[in-house]
Structure 1
């Protein structure tokens, strides 16, 4: 089984050499490393050009296109049928590729596999961290699919996936600059959920200057857009007409959705949740035929409302979707 490790880098001079070396020292021999230098303006190009290893292919882009476009480019040059993603500031354990290949060989129905992670700050490893603990949850296949709209289950750089499934799912969407991985996972999970090896095989760099942490509003907006569009498109395929989404949440959350996401839809209702009794508003809209899907924004009150609606039976379980949005 030949593996193509694909890495996109932008201004990564601080950690790129360490990341590359962690791949070149893998115990599994059958791989190539494809690095896309996404228009870096620091010493990244100079560092990459010093690499003398036949297993490494380097593509220098003259302008910055974003990680999603760069990864699509790298995968288009991949010789392997399996793609291992690796972020340019992270580190893979020496046995990562070997253990993931062994897992895939023993689970031929799988389209991919991730792993547990350690956080990394400078040269120190970190395990007692909320972000690390979040990525280290282990779920069964049915739970992965059930919770897909409410959590990003996989640490992006830890995943190895089928190139065939990647293209079947539609590749990375370059319009997303932060949560492009989450968007891809949602589409790949429609083929099959991706599980994890319950062992640390990847070190994830914890950085306060990451794109996702620099602008929380943009991150939340992308997450809301990705999950709600996923629901919307699935309903279109099912109903073969334009569905009506009803956004349920706090006034603050609904206004945020309306401002940052709502323009993408022609038909939207909003229900502001002030008390648990507001579930009656949703039931009334449903009786009038104005709800094809209730998109619930996560907070304590709307979570309780969701639970009350789901207890009403299978029809509501097909209509109520709680999405990931940082407690709005």
Structure 2
């Protein structure tokens, strides 16, 4: 059993994985937790029914470091998706705080050392997160990932809020996400109190992949304050074998995102109704976000009309039509 070290709270670090033996990403993710300057942590390696070598890798770490690492899996080694596997890790967690890391991403060494004191000093905050580095340049000795080198795309930081280094009250972050799908926290960045899962429930298991994180975050944003930092504590590796990049390279990414976003909005509407949440600003933002899906033809027409250049094209077409039309005596 992991005990308190110098009265510092225990952090349960959860890595979910499924067939994660791609290059050395899985081992690098695990080692980035071992490299933490904050010492009082435990690691749960939650297996989503892997069929490759990653199960053996996880078991080896658990056997080698039994006081720090535990291996957990679904009954019968089932594959149940990301949400169910995060919940699996949460159920086995012993820490006061919980942090997530995907099997192909990295934490910077000072992540927990800097994050824990922030949450400790803001007891009203349910969770904390910062900005995340979209890590294109992970390829060794190559400033740009080789598969993406033709695009010349450099690393960049996510935009997670309109305000930073402050406590943000409920619904504010949800409203931002409804207005702009690019403003959201990466799961590998958050540190959250375990009590929050008891208060609002865990991840929604109907969401196996897309938007599973924002479904859970939305429940938090509706209920409790969150602290948003301008610091970067993690790297989100961009590589061709990731779920989203694989979908994009197959030409399915846009449609998967569209379907996932619509499913998320439908879930949010049902959740607001079920919990009898009647915040007018949230409902207004939700209806606006749903409009393109519910009225696609009208939405396209409105977008067409509201672009100034469109007026010139329409007027020029009409003028040309009459200019070319024969005049009958």
1:153 Cα offset (Å): 1.4
The match for 1:94 is: 109
Deviations 1:139-162 (A, max 9, x none): 362542431323351011111111
Q: Deviations over 1:75-124 (max 9, x none)?
A: 00000121111111111111111111011112111111112222323346
| Match in the other structure for 2:148 | none
3-state DSSP of counterpart to 2:230: strand
- Give the direction of change, closer, same or farther, for the CA distance of 1:300–1:91 in structure 2 (3 Å limit): farther
Aligned residues: 265
Query: CA contact under 8 A between 2:128 and 2:192: conserved in structure 1?
Result: yes
Q: 1:16 aligns with which of 26, 37, 41?
A: 26
Equivalent position of 1:70 in the other structure: 85
Q: Is the 8 A contact 1:68 1:172 kept in 2?
A: yes
**Structure 2 residue aligned with 1:37:** 47
* CA 145–65 in structure 1, closer or farther in 2 if over 3 Å, else same: closer
- Structure (1 or 2) with the greater helix fraction: 2
- Separation in structure 1 between the aligned mates of residue 16 and residue 97 of structure 2, nearest angstrom: 17
Aligned 1:169-248 pairs, distance under 5 A = 169-176=200-207, 177-213=209-245, 214=247, 215-216=252-253, 217-235=255-273, 237=276
For residues 99 and 236 of structure 2, what CA distance do their matches in structure 1 show? 15
TM-score, structure 2 normalization? 0.70
Pick which of 115-124 and 221-230 moved more. 115-124
SS in 2 for 1:204: strand
Whole-angstrom CA distance in 2 between matches of 1:4 and 1:125 = 33
Give 1 or 2 for the bigger CA radius of gyration.
Answer: 2
Give CA-to-partner distance per residue, 1:59-80, whole Å, 9 cap, x none: 2441211111111011000001
Instruction: Mark the runs of 5 or more structure 1 residues left unpaired by the alignment.
Output: 259-268, 277-298, 305-328
Paired residue for 1:5, among 13, 17, 22? 13
| Aligned partners of 2:178 and 2:289 also within 8 Å | no
| Residue 308 of structure 1: aligned partner | none
Please state how far the C-alpha of 1:218 moved relative to its aligned partner: 2.2
Q: 2:134 aligns to what SS in structure 1?
A: strand
Q: Could you tell me whether the CA contact under 8 Å between 1:138 and 1:196 is conserved in 2? A: no
Residue 159 (1) aligns with residue 186 (2): no
Instruction: Name the structure 2 match of 1:134.
Output: 158
Query: Which structure features the higher share of strand residues?
Result: 1
Q: Is the 8 A contact 1:8 1:88 kept in 2?
A: yes
| Cα distance in 1 for residues equivalent to 2:212 and 2:41 | 25
CA root-mean-square deviation? 3.4
CA distance in 2, matches of 1:204, 1:136: 14
Contact 2:269 2:286 in 1 (8 A): no
- Gap regions ≥5 residues in structure 2: 1-8, 145-151, 309-329
Once the two structures are TM-superposed, the CA of residue 49 in structure 1 deviates from its matched residue by: 2.5
Q: What secondary structure is seen at the aligned counterpart in 1 of 2:72?
A: strand
Q: Which has the higher contact order (CA 8 A, sep 6+)?
A: 2
Corresponding residue for residue 273 of structure 1: 299
Cα gap change, 1:33 to 1:44, in 2 (>3 Å): same
